[in-house]
Structure 1
């Protein structure tokens, strides 16, 4: 494993992490000046850092300063931070506010259907427009079924890491809107990765990748279930109370093992982290709740590294060109599909209009997940450079829209940061 071979490079990796921390700080500072969520600054500056460094010093000097072994080690630390952070967030979603019974599965189901089905349809509409206009630069050379499915997947994702940071920054992770949006986003991204592997299979004519992804989901469910049962035993609870630091270390290692195994099998590590978080026993008196909190705090400190490192790795050597018309259509259809689909799903569940709008704004956050999907689709030869650029602009625009739109909604209604419980009573009072 490359990470194991990188241990002699630890001092070099620590120095790189310090530089990344400075980049993340600069991104947060710029985002606050622009009245944006700080994660938008982290992602945007991360995207610019790699190309800027390459332009300033050239590729030989860049690779000398950041050799592959060091980059692998730094990326491993960054991904571990994301896994730890999402374990804590998923555990919080499972528990819900004090007095609540957990995630609203019925509401999340309706929202998921709306926030997935309509964006998939708008992706097909975008492909149809590309076909009708005979835009060869956007169409590329991939088989039409693979191209159509890949574009639809890119239009449907919601960025779980970015959404998680926005919810935490705004104190929304335990509100109705925040819980529904995050639960739905986790499900949508899992489905999106399955559809992504199906697109690759259509392009290559091989179904092995899709089979591996399905096996990864089954393995993740099995491991998370077994871990949850083990943590509920009296012996485990007593050990967590007596040795909290060791318990946190072991829980973090287990979550990382499940997440990275699922990633190696073709599924996203995000889903593995969420499965573990949902499986950990919850409750105010539960010792594992305190253990998860310790794991999550460690992850929260490392999440900015994940955004910046991922941004450096993306788009470092691609200079695509796309028409402004293609970019405009992509952004418009992206907002239309995710916004209307999420709003319709929330309304079908009986959510009041203002709450449904807030959920739709959150679900429209594309962020880094979109960029990863787009880059992977380009690397697989399914997306053209022009289409990749249009989807990248859509990801950045929709993510940048989230903060200002939430601020606008806050000014219009002045809602409390954390909604009182029970949630259904609060919502009924607002209608």
Structure 2
């Protein structure tokens, strides 16, 4: 009994320290005119490896025992599941809107070159690195997973950047947000396919398809239940109670899919896609409550990732790998986004802003990488390189936008009708 109480006290202390570090990281990022999530992610990912370097392995294991780390891992996964309910719900609500031609051009320009850069990176790793970097995943799964990781956008972070810079109603802002929603929706489908392709036998692939079928049935059943009149009345009158129900459903679905050989992330996203959406929908308030709760605790996920994945990878990720990943990440998004905007008929100034904005990654990238690590497709060194790329490209967004706007004296041209997000 005393041992359990000590473990609980240790977990609570670790949680409080983690949340305090996240708060400090957010404040530091804001002072540097960066999105607060950049500071939160950076501090969380670096906390474990830095503590390990300072204390040494023996003292580090005493400060963060395996049983405490296990509980923190579960808490981090749960927080991520809750946050994903809101993210998937938002993507579904936006995906139902009509797609205008400029949005499709920008989405294609930002997605296809980035996918090709991901394939090029995967080919280089497959051809010129060892198994510690490449891993043992089947070639189709590895190539597709790398391509998805290089092409995914970051709708929540992008929305925050646009709001902070008062660009949410600008030509480049509306184009970019609508295209990012489309890209991330496609990205989730490709991520699911990559996990299925990781099956190493015909039987394992059939198990994967069975798991997806089970998940789809559960998702449809949940959707029917949530669309009922009684459920919608409860969503309005007992918002907190129904938010708790959604949180429980996300965790149960996540761990069910995980036990079937998929990932917690995919199961939680299914719950978000199942919740009815749209302007004025009764479930919106409950979803927002769940997502805010998960977003508050999700720094635990960053710390656990830093301890369990990245702390073992710093010596294995070479500088050529890091530089190639960052360079290809920038090229695929910035040049591709610019080309897509120009093909959509946008002026050079707006197209440059679109390219810079599409280069934003962030928390969405971390979620995709966690799915790749959980599925056994991505190794520690690969994850580290992609994390560095995500943080670098997102940190570039604000300064590059400031530079472009200082050097653009032409007034914004007449707006092309696009889908507002």
**TM bin (shorter chain):** 0.7 to 0.9
CA contact (8 A) 2:114 2:333 kept: yes
Structure 1 323/272 Cα, relative in aligned 2: closer, same or farther at 3 Å?
A: closer
**Aligned positions of 1:396-407 closer than 5 A:** 396-407=391-402
Structure 1 277/160 Cα, relative in aligned 2: closer, same or farther at 3 Å?
A: farther
Following the alignment from structure 1 to structure 2, what is the Cα–Cα distance between the partners of residues 316 and 13? Answer: 20
Structure 1 384/295 Cα, relative in aligned 2: closer, same or farther at 3 Å?
A: closer
Of 364-373 and 119-128, deviating more is 364-373
Matching residue within 262, 281, 296 for 1:301: 296
**Aligned positions of 1:152-231 closer than 5 A:** 153-157=145-149, 163-168=155-160, 170-171=162-163, 175-198=174-197, 200-201=198-199, 205-231=200-226
Matching residue within 73, 76, 79 for 2:74: 76
Structure 1 residue runs without a partner (length 5+):
415-422
Following the alignment from structure 1 to structure 2, what is the Cα–Cα distance between the partners of residues 166 and 117? Answer: 20
Please report how far the alpha carbon of residue 24 of structure 1 lies from its aligned counterpart in structure 2 after TM superposition. Answer: 0.9
TM-score, reference length from structure 1? 0.75
Please report how far the alpha carbon of residue 7 of structure 1 lies from its aligned counterpart in structure 2 after TM superposition. Answer: 9.1
Please report how far the alpha carbon of residue 135 of structure 1 lies from its aligned counterpart in structure 2 after TM superposition. Answer: 4.2
Matching residue within 329, 338, 354 for 2:333: 338
Structure 1 65/358 Cα, relative in aligned 2: closer, same or farther at 3 Å?
A: same
Following the alignment from structure 1 to structure 2, what is the Cα–Cα distance between the partners of residues 210 and 356? Answer: 42
SS of residue matched to 2:417: helix
Aligned twin of 1:11: 9
SS of residue matched to 1:401: helix
**Aligned positions of 1:29-428 closer than 5 A:** 29-96=27-94, 102=97, 104=99, 114-126=109-121, 135=128, 146=138, 150=142, 153-157=145-149, 163-168=155-160, 170-171=162-163, 175-198=174-197, 200-201=198-199, 205-283=200-278, 285-320=280-315, 324-344=319-339, 357-367=352-362, 390-408=385-403, 425=417
Structure 1 255/141 Cα, relative in aligned 2: closer, same or farther at 3 Å?
A: closer
Please report how far the alpha carbon of residue 83 of structure 1 lies from its aligned counterpart in structure 2 after TM superposition. Answer: 2.5
Please report how far the alpha carbon of residue 136 of structure 1 lies from its aligned counterpart in structure 2 after TM superposition. Answer: 5.0
Please report how far the alpha carbon of residue 25 of structure 1 lies from its aligned counterpart in structure 2 after TM superposition. Answer: 1.7
CA contact (8 A) 2:359 2:394 kept: yes
CA contact (8 A) 2:80 2:298 kept: yes
Following the alignment from structure 2 to structure 1, what is the Cα–Cα distance between the partners of residues 281 and 363? Answer: 34
Structure 1 41/225 Cα, relative in aligned 2: closer, same or farther at 3 Å?
A: same
Of 151-160 and 292-301, deviating more is 151-160
CA contact (8 A) 2:158 2:177 kept: no
Aligned twin of 1:418: none
Following the alignment from structure 1 to structure 2, what is the Cα–Cα distance between the partners of residues 176 and 169? Answer: 14
Aligned twin of 1:21: 19
Aligned twin of 1:420: none
CA contact (8 A) 2:25 2:43 kept: yes
Please report how far the alpha carbon of residue 12 of structure 1 lies from its aligned counterpart in structure 2 after TM superposition. Answer: 2.4
Following the alignment from structure 1 to structure 2, what is the Cα–Cα distance between the partners of residues 63 and 224? Answer: 40
Following the alignment from structure 2 to structure 1, what is the Cα–Cα distance between the partners of residues 121 and 26? Answer: 34
Structure 2 residue runs without a partner (length 5+):
410-414
CA contact (8 A) 2:140 2:194 kept: no
CA RMSD of aligned residues (A): 4.3
CA contact (8 A) 1:116 1:188 kept: no
